[in-house]
Amino acid sequence: MLDIRFIRENADLVQKKAEQKGYKVDVKKLLSLDEKHRTLWAEIEVLRRKGNELAKAAGGKKPSDEQIKRGSELKKKESQIWTKMMNTATIPRENILLSIPNVFPEDTPLGGEEANREERKWGDTADKSFEVLDHATWAEKHGLLDFERGAKVAGNKFYYTAGSLVQLELALTQLAMKVIAENGYTPMLVPHLVSGRMIDGTGFSARTKEEEQIYKIDGEDLHLIATAEIPLTAYHADEIIDELPKAYAGYSPAYRKEAGAYGKHSRGLYRVHQFNKVEMYVFCKPEDSEQWHKKMVELEENICQMLEIPYRVVRIAAGDLGAAAYKKYDVEYWSPPDKAYRELMSCSNVTDYQARRLNIRYRTDEGGTNYVHTLNGTAGAMSRLPIAIIENFQTKDGKVELPKALHPYMNGQTTL
């Protein structure tokens, strides 16, 4: 969440940027509740001060009946004001505060997905001399992908993979983990279930039923994770971190309802309810987060270049940013069957938005504490990297020639 002091000083800016992100918030109402909270809190402090003065007047001796009566009256009044403050100001204020999205830099493109700005391209996107099959058609033809049985067992958009497609995913996972570990990220296996506080704290709570992505366990305060970002953020919840930066590489399944997503490109593995993913996550000082963001995007590009996947980097527009993101880039692979770029990886600077919600701080040089900045980036979504490989490395005879970087992880296999 945003610092309430920042909102007080930048109310119009916060309101404007929330609307440009597509969020309906009432900053004026928030500040009205905040003023009421502070006024009632000041009354409580006056009563507490009077109570302390009354205790001092007793001088350590047994208080008189009048002093006891006066003390009881002060405590009763304080309790009444506290209850009034919590019910009419503090709790309503916190509810609105939690609904306000992060702001974004002035150089962010305005608009929705259509306004995302291309930053750079890499790789050969020239047409092939033959018709390239989309990944789902190719994989089903070779008996490596089965959505029909997945639907029978679990429902639409669940699936089975088999044979060399499984080997490909494992190879991609090993490569991604190796590359990011070599760049200083600590490999992590994480819980696949988290509490509601951790969902809210990372900003994954949906505004509407149509946006709901998180699976909840009935009767328990447990939710299936949509990304390793959630448990990695929560790893340092309510902690003061002594040494920064902290860089982690989380490997986990991702479970997503994909509510409201079926108007988007969703063929085959592109948009499914369960997939595995390698996620980069960084905790750092505020002054270092912009540089970390650049480094993480460069690392994503490095993985794509090692795999020889044609891609472009796009800057995400305000209306396409999530609540928590301050600044975000996507890496999109080139899809020969679609003759279009499709999202492959993303990388976000979340600033202190999640850290404030989950109380994650660090010790400053002055001896105090401050909230950390957090960043997340996809090192490999193992449903989408195979798509990019299958569609970009098909040959005329129907095989898929694997990039050389994967050969050491494929037990000598060089084609699918």
Which residues does the annotation mark as catalytic?
A: 256, 271, 343, 346, 384
Q: Contact, 249 vs 379, CB < 8 A?
A: yes
Alpha-carbon span 198 to 2, nearest angstrom: 17
Q: How far apart are CA 190 and CA 251, in angstroms?
A: 7
* Whole-number Å distance between alpha carbons of 297 and 306: 14
Furthest-apart CA atoms within the chain: distance in Å: 100
Q: How many CB atoms lie within 10 A of CB 131?
A: 9
Q: Do residues 269 and 159 lie in contact, with contact meaning Cβ atoms separated by under 8 Å?
A: yes
